[in-house]
Amino acid sequence: MNVELTIEKLVFGGDGLGFIDKKACFVEGALPGEKVLARIVHEKPNYAKARLIRVLEPSPCRIAPPCPYIQACGGCQYQHLPYEEELRWKEEQVKESFRQALKLDPSMIRPIQRGPKEYGYRNSITLHRTRQKGNKPQRLGFIGRDNRSVILIGNCLLAEDALKKIFTEEHTLGKNEEKRVFKTDEEGRIFSSDNEKIYSVRVGSCSLKTNSMGFFQNNLAVTELIAEQLEAWVRETGPVRFLDLYSGVGTFSLLAASAVPEIHCFEENPYSMSCVEKNFKALGVPLGGIHPGKVEKRFPAFILPHRKEKTFVFLDPPRQGIASSLAEFFSKENVAENIVYLACDLQILIRDLKTILAGGGYTIRDIIPFDMFPRTKHIEVLVWLTRT
């Protein structure tokens, strides 16, 4: 069914929101103020999702996306919007999410922070196998807008210049290898997830070892901004112990908490853990302990018999957030005066915060969004919780 409607705002995820007979309708690619013709593709009792057919009355903010693959790829949601407008709407989405879910005054959310680049910022790209099987060399591509097909492209505008050649080269995948991650080091050399290598990444003035099979933040300029803010909070609170949960290679411990007397790193990925001790030793920072394994198990087992005043906990979990058992643990056990949660999925963050705050032991002190992934729907959010 085709419908005409006027778009009122952009919601988290990048869709334009309009209404059909008071029912919410989410239209991909539509902008606020536009009158559009759209086709309903999914309908529920209280909302509908629609595909944009034609813009009948365009927004004065609409621009032509610079990427020639924008219709097929689907990795970017905001290329048809000036970057300053994208930032404004992302900030509004964070405010609206916290207002609706946690009844928080939107004025508590600080202005969104951005890096120097809206394109060419990614030092890590994941490409997927096409339908071609076997181990013959083949070009790799991105998952398409339909979430099924693989799109071959000549270049991605979000990728660093050093990564450009990976899109046109042929790669030989292993029999069961469906995707491959390509990453750059501080000298622009490329490493990939099919071959374990330790290499160096520079964040600001700090060079850190990481592993081609592990995780590292992919927008280094914004990572530096986050670390600077975290360091300011650590300096303000003066902890004697810093517990880095989902620590990766120790990035934020070393960038933001190197002056804290006792630092512990908790991380499940063995490839990342292999670099933690190397980084602390290279930078001359004492390391209190390394705790490999699932964080939701290792952290409670460590902290309960080792409670200490002036403890600062930092959480930087993967996109799926923290385990429900860990969120419930924080809600019941006041194990730290300060908890800072860095999240790359706004809705997962809200879910976890609801559980943590339900115990009444913590309150939100500060919230800062960061645009870690310009031109995409994703928003990084840093939240500071303090003991009540």
Q: Where among 164, 186, 211 does a domain terminate?
A: 211
Q: What average pLDDT does range 306-322 have in this prediction? A: 97
29 conformational bin, left if phi > 0, alpha if psi -120 to 50, beta if neither:
left
C-alpha gyration radius of the chain: 22
* Domain annotation covers residue 81: no
pLDDT, one tens digit per residue, over 236-294 is 999 999 999 999 999 999 999 999 999 999 999 999 999 999 999 999 999 999 999 99
Number of domain units in the chain: 3
Residues 253 and 110 in one domain: yes
Residues 197 and 247 in one domain: no
| Residue 212 to residue 192: CA distance in whole angstroms | 6
Helix (H, G, I), strand (E, B), or coil: what is residue 269?
coil
Q: Which domain holds residue 112?
A: 86-116+218-387
End-to-end alpha carbon distance in the chain: 52
* Domain annotation covers residue 98: yes
H/E segment holding residue 10: strand 2-10
pLDDT, one tens digit per residue, over 9-65 is 999 999 999 999 999 999 999 999 999 999 999 999 999 999 999 999 999 999 999
* Domain annotation covers residue 76: no
**Contacts for 6 with CB less than 8 Å, ≥ 6 apart:** 18, 33, 34, 35, 36
Residues 192 and 244 in one domain: no
| Residue 296 to residue 316: CA distance in whole angstroms | 13
pLDDT, one tens digit per residue, over 161-218 is 999 999 999 999 988 899 999 999 999 999 999 999 999 999 999 999 999 999 999 9
Buried b (16+ CB within 10 A) or exposed e, 51-89: ebeebeeebebbeebebebbeebbbbbbbbbebebbbeb
Report the residue count for the chain. Answer: 388
* Domain annotation covers residue 72: no
Residues 13 and 46 in one domain: yes
127-130: long-range contacts at Cβ-Cβ below 8 A with a sequence spacing of 24 or more? 127/166, 127/167, 127/171, 127/179, 127/180, 127/182, 128/178, 128/179, 129/173, 129/177, 129/178, 129/179
Residues 336 and 368 in one domain: yes
Banded pLDDT at 133 (limits 50, 70, 90): low
pLDDT of residue 136: 84
Q: What average pLDDT does range 304-333 have in this prediction? A: 97
Q: Is the pLDDT of residue 327 over 80?
A: yes
* Domain annotation covers residue 248: yes
* CATH code, 262: 3.40.50.150
* CATH code, 47: 2.40.50.140
pLDDT of residue 208: 98
* Domain annotation covers residue 178: yes
Residues 102 and 187 in one domain: no
Residues 363 and 324 in one domain: yes
* Domain annotation covers residue 331: yes
Mean pLDDT of the chain: 96
Residues 227 and 112 in one domain: yes
* Domain annotation covers residue 151: yes
Helical pair 324-332 and 295-303, crossing angle rounded to 10 deg: 20
| Residue 251 to residue 248: CA distance in whole angstroms | 7
Q: Where among 182, 211, 240 does a domain terminate?
A: 211
pLDDT of residue 252: 98
Task: Pick the closest to residue 252 from 273, 224, 233 (CA basis).
Answer: 224
Q: Is the pLDDT of residue 73 over 90?
A: yes
**Contacts for 284 with CB less than 8 Å, ≥ 6 apart:** none
> What is the pTM for the complete model shown?
0.96
Q: Where among 211, 231, 260 does a domain terminate?
A: 211
Neighbour-count burial of 158, counting CB atoms closer than 10 A to its CB (0-12 exposed, 13-18 middle, 19+ buried): buried
For residue 16 the two structure tokens come to: 């334009």
Residues 272 and 365 in one domain: yes
Residues 245 and 307 in one domain: yes
| Residue 249 to residue 216: CA distance in whole angstroms | 8
Residues 240 and 196 in one domain: no
Can you say how many angstroms the Cα of residue 124 is from the centroid of all Cα atoms in its chain?
13
Strands (E), 204-359: 206-211, 241-245, 262-267, 289-292, 311-315, 338-343
Residues 134 and 178 in one domain: yes
pLDDT of residue 134: 67
Q: Is the pLDDT of residue 144 over 70?
A: yes
